[in-house]
Amino acid sequence: MRIGNVPIRIDARVTVTDVARQAGVSQPTVSLVLSNNPKARVAKSTRARVLQVAKELGYRPNLLALGLVHQRSFALGLIVPGFANPVYANIVSGAERVAAETGYAVLLCETELVNAAHHLQALIDRQVDGVIIAGLAAATLPQEDLRRLNVVLINQPSETYSSVAGDSLAAGRIAAEHLLELGHEQIAFIGPSTSLPAFRLRERGFAQALQAAGIAPPSDYWQRADASVDGGRKALRALLTLGTPPTAVFCATDIIALGAHKAASKAGLKLGSELSLLGCDDIEMNTLVSPELTSISVPQRELGALAVRQLIQQLDTSTEVSTHILPVKLSKRGTTGRLRRR
């Protein structure tokens, strides 16, 4: 890292020393007053004067210096694959809110283009107090770095690290039950080719529930797609070309489901009657398409928020590794319906 040619300091800041001088006391005294340390026994008049002067001068503590002393930066790293996906946008949003309320800064890292391990190292160099990781398998990161950090994983149950997740297994099950209740028997699945734990669990929950109902989809019905709109589109097209196409499809993510939605509409299928389509995540876009996409709601903002809370608690109390599972629920909309023959 190179330092620029010209100092960027625009305006000298007020420091404790300035306050001390102005108030006619020693610098540590000011520190004592300002840190309202419980065992700080300062004369009332002194305290009042210091506070008064600090206010007048507009004193603000330098968090860099504070961090150095306390070995604590009050900053959190947040690593996500990308914001293009509203799922992560929501998670970030929830996390940022809680962090801001608690006085923590959020250092944002997008791993779409920049190497995740690189990002992690940069966060460590900045002495972040902890890291939250979403949409990225923790196993793919250098463990020796990860282990010396406070970590909370999102949507990725783990034995080594704390985690906060939506109930992915239940999500799959609920999806299956919904389609079964509607009378479907020819049920297909489209999942992303990325092997994130959450997606695997959704898939497993779905498969198990089908099995429990005595339904065994042919292998053609089990599609793997690129985790994008286009991936979903292609996968659904493939399903439609089968000898006996499915009457219902569950997509492991809404992004894929929206691609499938597009493909189905283009093929002239009436969603909700001729073909039932069900997504998972429940992103806001779902209500923009027509018919609106039925989905399994995963509380993304809450996941982000809870992750920060959990992380801070871990920092404050050295709590042990913990796992939180948040409930998910069906959001019934227009793309799923009772089976009707074409």
Partner DNA sequence: TTGTAGGCGTTATCAC
Partner DNA sequence: GTGATAACGCCTACAA
- Subset of residues 186 to 225 that bind a second copy, contact rule: CB under 8 A: none
Q: How far is the CB of 53 from DNA (least distance, A)?
A: 13
**Comparison of 8 and 69: residue with beta carbon closer to DNA:** 69
Which residues, numbered 127-166, are part of the site for a second copy (CB under 8 A)? 127, 129-130, 148-150
Instruction: Round to whole Å and give the CA distance between 332 and 330.
Output: 6
**Comparison of 26 and 241: residue with beta carbon closer to DNA:** 26
Binding mask 305-324 for a second copy (x = CB under 8 A): ----------xxxx------
Which of 235, 300, 225 lies closest to 261 in space, CA to CA? 235
**Comparison of 74 and 161: residue with beta carbon closer to DNA:** 74
**Comparison of 42 and 137: residue with beta carbon closer to DNA:** 42
What would the two tokens of residue 85 be? 């996906």
Judge residue 268's burial from the number of C-beta atoms within 10 Å of its C-beta, 0-12 exposed, 13-18 middle, 19 or more buried. Answer: exposed
Q: What residue type is 195 in one-letter code? A: S
**Comparison of 79 and 207: residue with beta carbon closer to a second copy:** 79
**Comparison of 23 and 264: residue with beta carbon closer to DNA:** 23
Please, are residues 174 and 282 in contact by the beta-carbon 8 Å criterion? no
Please, are residues 207 and 175 in contact by the beta-carbon 8 Å criterion? no
Q: Which stretch binds a second copy (CB under 8 A): 43-51, 93-101, 183-191, 328-336?
A: 93-101
Q: How far is the CB of 236 from a second copy (least distance, A)?
A: 14
Q: For residue 281, which phi and psi values (nearest 5 degrees)?
A: 130, -45
Q: Which residues of the chain form contacts with DNA (CB under 7 A)?
A: 3, 12-13, 15-17, 25-29, 31-32, 34-35, 37, 40-43, 45-47, 59-62, 65-66, 68-71
Which residues, numbered 40-69, are part of the site for a second copy (CB under 8 A)? 60-68
Report the residue from 289, 325, 330, 339 that binds a second copy according to the rule CB under 8 A.
289
83 binds, among DNA, a second copy, none (CB under 5 to 8 A by kind): a second copy
Q: How far is the CB of 288 from a second copy (least distance, A)?
A: 5
Q: What residue type is 220 in one-letter code? A: D
Report the residue from 288, 322, 338, 340 that binds a second copy according to the rule CB under 8 A.
288
Which of 196, 180, 178 lies closest to 135 in space, CA to CA? 196
Contacts for 204-207: CB closer than 8 Å, 24+ residues apart: 204/169, 204/172, 205/168, 205/169, 205/170, 205/171, 205/172, 205/173, 205/174, 205/175, 205/176, 206/172, 206/173, 206/175, 206/176, 206/250, 207/172
70: contact with a second copy by CB under 8 A: yes
Instruction: Round to whole Å and give the CA distance between 177 and 71.
Output: 51
308 binds, among a second copy, DNA, none (CB under 5 to 8 A by kind): none
What would the two tokens of residue 19 be? 């306050």
57 binds, among DNA, a second copy, none (CB under 5 to 8 A by kind): none
Q: What residue type is 281 in one-letter code? A: D
